[in-house]
Structure 1
Amino acid sequence: MIVLIPFIGYARSQGEQVVLMPEVSRLNNSQTMSLLEAPLNINPIGTSSAEIAIADGVALESSSGRESEVFVDLGKSGTGQISVYIVRQGDTLSEIAEMFGVSTNTIIWANDIRGTSIKEGQELVILPISGVRHVVKKGDTLQSIAKNYKADLEDILSFNGLANGAKIIPGDIVIIPDGVISAAQTSLTRSSTVKTSQNYPAYAGFYLRPVSIGRKSQGLHGNNGIDIGAPTGTPILASADGKVIISRSGGYNGGYGTYVVITHSNGTQTLYAHMSRNNVSVGQEVVQGQIIGAIGSTGKSTGPHLHFEVRGAKNPF
């Protein structure tokens, strides 16, 4: 909890205006803090050389002086926000869990981690509370979701801001407070799906090539992604029907630059990075083939191309 109490600034000379800072209360993790209108450093001299990066109205603070790699816009659910954390050298799952105030299993389940092994540069989805992140599939009800994860229905409704009897649709993200995934449930899910050599399920014909021209300039790398080279401004198409859960314009953003993430009814997500522009906003429903942006070279990029990831399924391209 960060609390700024009322402060009276010191006047440099008689009659100079005295500035009052209002009382502000913010609940943040160790790497993110809301951007205030008033200066955060009330000492005009300053005592630290650490830089604070500003992105979309959020100050990303790093005590070490390097840019923080926490992005807090993967989608809101109820009163909490889902974050993306980039693993740094020396990080452990337990330390990251403690940093965000969630259980280690919460991180393991949200990222389908086998064991406790993580590596530098890896992206981790971090929930705002201990529990499970569920992407609604066809046939799901709030009652069946609560039962599957051994959770309390009222807690689910309350945390997600849903009324009793609320309708949910495929692609919606529901946070299950204190939900658990049993070993048997995990085993059943993994054994009931045809796996590729990468342990991803294959959904033949589900995804559309996101760029109609250009060539693949790099094969699978990173988070199940490929690169497709094409001229700047070439339209980028939604690979499948879904809902936009990230839409960022400008900034480095962990190397992605301007990028979009869409969640789909089969529980997977697609990511489109290095855009010169994006045409969609968070919460927007898109259809397969819809133009969602244009090829660019933003972020960590050496030339115009699309970095395209399929998360949770085999990348068919």
Structure 2
Amino acid sequence: MRGVSGSLWLLVSSLAFAKLPALSPLPLPANTVEVGQAVKKGWVVYEVKPGDTLAGIAARYGVDPRHIMWSSNLQGDRLQVGQRLLIPLVAVEDRSPRVPPGVEVYRVRPGDTLQGVASRYGVSVLELVSANPSLESLDRLVAGSVLYIPRKAKGLVVSLPEGQTLVDLAARFGLSPVAVARANGIQDPAELRPGDLVLLPGIQAKTTYERLLAKQEEERRARLEAERRRQEELRRLAEERRRQQALAQQRTRQVQQAQTQRPQVRRVSYQEGAMRWPLSGFRITTYFGQRGVFQRFHTGIDLAAAYGTPIVAAKAGQVEVAGWSSVGYGFHVVLDHGGGVETLYAHMSRIAVRAGQWVEAGQVIGYVGSTGWSTGPHLHFEVRVGGVVRNPLAYLP
């Protein structure tokens, strides 16, 4: 094949021979020999062409230039046109990344913690972090994930980067390649592939450990703050429930008081001064008497009705007052029925009578409004006997 530029020669390595078993006084079960799988290695014979460089050829075939130098017995990287090189090739085999001897692969179980695993295997948390520098937390471990446990030599466990060798990795961390190879049980550094794990003895991932410690403290404070806010919210909800319960109890007491007051009314006969209702189509919203612990005594009854509903005289009498009140009644009318009996009609929107005028029972004297101290259209109706307020329900049918 001389003279053919760029010709390739593939030399396949010789087959591996199995070793015969040692002699034994016991009879062997069968005279069989197990032959291991042949190593898939070979070389390409390459003839140097003008412009070729060692680095360019190595890159073309995806090998380390130093491996070409070793195989071709070169003393330097200078090449001559026509020179033949042996380029070593190894078939790529599918295999898991190599784990250094003395490093145990541990599968995380539910409930595991980094401190617990470290205590179980007799190593420090820093040594465990150094063997697993990609950890994201000192507290959270994902069940099913893998931890590397250094059982013998302690150090930093890293994955061999693409394009680097054990020698490069040792130089990067200032270690002896021989010491690194010995710690990893490596006879031939060329056997390492990208992705294989390498133990760098004596190197500790202190920066990573300190970062994880700071993150652990930050997460602890965040948990405490979250718990503090949760407790505050629980206290606020409990206080709100107590307040609502107190309001409900107060309303219940008010209703009970109003209900107990109504049956106590003594009806007055017409001869004693009975009256007629001053409104039609109304609803009693407040009764006569004490309304609550912190509310003033109610001197009459409140009759809620539509704005502008006519108000009539409850009994015949003379208009004593017809005008504006400065004490909260708004537009109001007071009728004198004789014998010391008076009736008062408050919060009118408009007055239909004047002082001194005589009115008959049922005659319109004004219209429902919300003037004075009022929160809505209604009539405040009072009965006074001898200047003392009485329960109007005692005088109404």
Q: TM-score, normalised by structure 2?
A: 0.28
Q: Which structure shows the bigger proportion of residues in helix conformation?
A: 2
Q: Which structure shows the bigger proportion of residues in strand conformation?
A: 1
Q: TM-score, normalised by structure 1?
A: 0.35
Higher relative contact order (CA 8 A, sep 6+): 1
